[in-house]
Every structure is written in structure tokens, then in C-alpha cells.
A and B are shown apart, each in its own frame.
Chain A
């Protein structure tokens, strides 16, 4: 087996998303998400955690291993980078350009792939299992396709062994043990270890870490390749569903099981 890279370079994609604890809204003619009250996607925290554990298993930042985080989004998206740096990532990249607004998965993965190519050679690219806003989970596989990398998606554990990555994937009712040579793309589920909270040292240390701003031109793309112009799937209408109304609530008087059967019979569900 070939040797492990002397200095592991791991890239983690992080997204700032509207906090799902609040009501979320679509607005505008080709409907877009209102991005107020946004946070680092909880599902990306697992990917940051996985990256940190990987380099720690090989001697950490002291041994020269690096975790770079990349986000794409407006000014406020820098919060996703900041939180990742506080958790322990080495440096940040922020792709921020008005031309990117309204990108679908195709345009997003195109821009992210270009940003990855433009900024370095990474051994591993880690992502969350899906965004908590778009929820399509298309971007990890599209990145693997664009970058010509093997994909190990929806993994709950991973390790780098020599120049190989090994991972366990749980999906569609089966568990697979996967292996691929580096470089590779990995998406991490919430079955991975709980993400760490930034401690005081992490919060103070993050202030000294560098975040590089990137534009569409910096990564070698033109504005018409991304954003709405570069998107292939477009929402033409969005209707807010009437909020589900609570129905009848009864308190069990010793006969609630029978009442449940009555209800199902009334609804023709038996």
C-alpha cells in the first residue's frame, strides 16, 4: 500500500442556512429562500467534526495537516466559516459574488468545483449529507462527477489509511464498507460523532485565522455560468401550504384505543 500524504489537506464545504427552528419563507418571482436568521447548517458541523478527527488521528495541525473550509454565499455566510474556524479548522475560503444568487444544484456544484480547483490540491473533500434548506443532496455527487473523484457518500465513520480512505455507509436499508484511493469526496451523516462546541481557546484562536474572499472571476468562471443564468432547474411557482391545523385532541378515559379504531373506521382507514 502506498504511503499516507505527508501533509493531509482536507477541504470541508459549509453552508449557512435559515434556522429550521423558525418559519422559513420563499419570496420573489422565481422564488428564492429568505436567508435571514441563518446559521451554519447543523449537518455540515458533522463534516467539520469528521475533518478535525481525521487530522487529529494523524498528529493534527502541529504535524502540518490542514482543514480548509469553503462556503459560497452572501456576506452573512461568513458566519458559517467563522463557526468552523472556532471549532478548529485552519483557514477559510468565502466565495461571495452577486452573480451566484439563485444558483440551483448544477450551478452550485459548478462554482464549488471551480473554487476547489482554483485554491489547491486537496486529499479529501468533505460535505454534510445534504443541506437543510434545499434538501436535494445533489451537490456531493455532482462535485464528485465534476472533479472526477470517487464518491463515498452518507458515511457514518471514516479513516485515512495510507493513501486510501475507508468508510462505512448506511443507506437504503444496508451497510456498505467502502474504500477508495485519495483524493476522494466524502459526505458525512449525523450518525458520525457529535460535533464539538467551540471552546474559549477556539473562539479566541479563530480571530487570528485567515479567510480569503473569492469572486466568480477569481475561480475562472463568468457570471452567466452561475446563479439564475447558469441554473438548469427553475422553480416557476411556489405556494405556501396552509399550516396543518391540529384536529381533535381527546384525553384517554380508558377507552382511547377504541376511539382510535372508531376514528380510523370513520376515515375509511381500516
Chain B
């Protein structure tokens, strides 16, 4: 009997349900043969609810593991993986999850494959070199630790079942940093950048005013993104940056306004299904990858598009 282990950060679980990226993990796990065991990062009242998403067993630590960044959750997940004799461990593709995955690789002598977009048996597909290549990888006889990019699968239907909840002692994480203080960035009320289906991004061409980007994003139900020039200028928080050193997004639709299309920006968005670019420079490199390119002034094009879309959506 095979076992798929899924790591779920307790912060993604609430009375309203489970975060989309984690729901996708459980969907992939449910498509595999055998048991689906969840290792939850902290005790949680709604742990048994994970059965609705296909978990057969949820293992919770005796105490919250998050106090020791990466080290705490990794020590716990490794203990659960050994206990459950897991064949594959699935995590989200967040920066923290990748670090937990990295440490699990060492602890469990496992191969780690990040940024995965498709899972078929023991073969994991990802794109590399900023989307220039698609590779298929395996870990041979070794355990596979896999981080799955958001928007890789359609989240499956939820059921009625509740999962068996077990508690396991949280192991000593070893030397770890201490978190003195955390400032959570204020939520915008828009979809999250990495798992949004539509992203509207702005760059230096906005000249300091993100208003037209936000209006279009709201008309489309989209997330807002930005180039590094816009975040470096302080027009919008760094957490909105798309690109090599920001977030990697793969939405159905990416609209780039006032962004030239530097390699480092393209590295974070060129796997979007459809790309629209608005730029007043007909030679901007972004037009080389845009499905629809509009040579024009964004201060005119964006508000007109927003009005028209609102009108059509009624």
C-alpha cells in the first residue's frame, strides 16, 4: 500500500476551508493510489475537516512547529514521513515550503524537485531556465519531495468525510533562528498573486500611480503585480514584484502595462497562457512575447478598458 504525504501549513486552514494551493496538493494526492496522510504544522481545531479534501489521516504536532523557521516543520514532517512510510511528500511552492523541502531532502535522503506543474506516477514535470525548457525528472529509488506550483491542477470537489486525527511529538528542530517580530503585510482583498488566474501588472511607465492598474484588476477580479522598477521606486510593496527575484506567476492572463520586458521580469511571467502588453514604445521587448500588444499610452488605454469590461460584465 502506498502513502502520499502532504504538508499543510496550519495558517492555510480556517473554519471557511483550505487555501487554494493546499487544496491543489490534496487533489494531486487523491489522484494517486493509497492513503493520503497530512502533516499539519500546528494543532488546529479544524484538522479533521481535511477529510473533506481527501485526507485519510491528519497528523498534528504536540506544539506549533513554526517558531523555528524551516527547521521546526522539517523535523516534524520527517518524523511523520518515516512513521507513515511515505512514498512521496507534496508541499506548496511557497518560499518557506521550498526550504522545508530542502531540509527534508537531507533528513530523508530524498530527491527534491521544486516548481513542479504535473505529477504522473514517479515522473515530475517542471519548466526551467525561465520557461525556456520543460523537463521531466525522477528520484529513482529514492523518496521524492515535490513542491507543486499553484494553478497546476483544478482543485477537486470537497466531500463530507472527516479524517482520523493523530498527535505526534514535535521533535527537537536543532539550531534555529528566533523570530523576534513579524509584520504581516496588509491584505488587499484581491486574489493572491501566485494563485490568481488573472494578473494585472504595472511598471515604471505608471509614473507613480497604480490607480489605473488597481481599477482594471478589480474589474477583472485579478491580482495586482509590479516590475522591480515600480517596487524599487516605492510605489508599491516589494511583495508585489513579479520576476526572477520576486514572485513567479503562471496565470491564464497576464496584462503588463508600462513594463519594458527585461529578462528578469519575463522570467517570472512568460509561462502565462495569454499575455497582453500596453507600452508606448513600439520596440519594447515585451511585445516579442505578447499575444496582444497595444502601442499606446497606458493612462488612456487602461481606464477605457476598465469601463468597457465593467459595461460588458453588467
Contact = CB atoms under 8 A, between A and B. Distances in A.
Contacts of A210: none
B128 interface: yes
A232 B110 contact: yes
A152 B256 CA distance: 33
Interface stretch (B33-41, B54-62, B83-91, B138-146): B138-146
Contacts of A21: 263
Interface in A238-270: 238-241, 244, 246-252, 254-261, 263-265, 267, 269-270
18 contacts: A137-B98, A144-B103, A152-B69, A177-B180, A178-B69, A180-B176, A232-B110, A234-B138, A241-B131, A241-B133, A244-B270, A252-B294, A257-B300, A257-B302, A257-B304, A260-B278, A260-B294, A264-B276
Given A141-B102, A249-B295, A171 B135 contact: no
A233 interface: yes
A172 B245 CA distance: 12
Given A33-B129, A178-B179, A256-B294, 16 more contacts: A104-B111, A105-B102, A105-B105, A136-B114, A138-B105, A145-B74, A145-B107, A172-B94, A177-B181, A233-B113, A240-B132, A244-B289, A250-B292, A252-B297, A258-B308, A269-B274
B276 A260 contact: yes
Interface in B257-271: 263-264, 267, 270
B9 to A, nearest CB: 10
Interface string A168-181: 00111111111110
Sorting the interface of chain B by its residue count into under 10, 10 to 19, 20 to 34 or 35 or more gives: 35 or more
A117 interface: no
Nearest to B184: A174
Interface residues of A, number: 83
Interface in A174-199: 174-180, 184, 189-191
Interface stretch (A52-60, A85-93, A127-135): A127-135
A270 B136 contact: no
Given A151-B176, A175-B185, A258-B304, A238 B282 contact: no
Interface in B206-230: 220
Contacts of B302: 257
B53 interface: no
Contacts of A154: 95
Contacts of B1: none
B64 interface: no
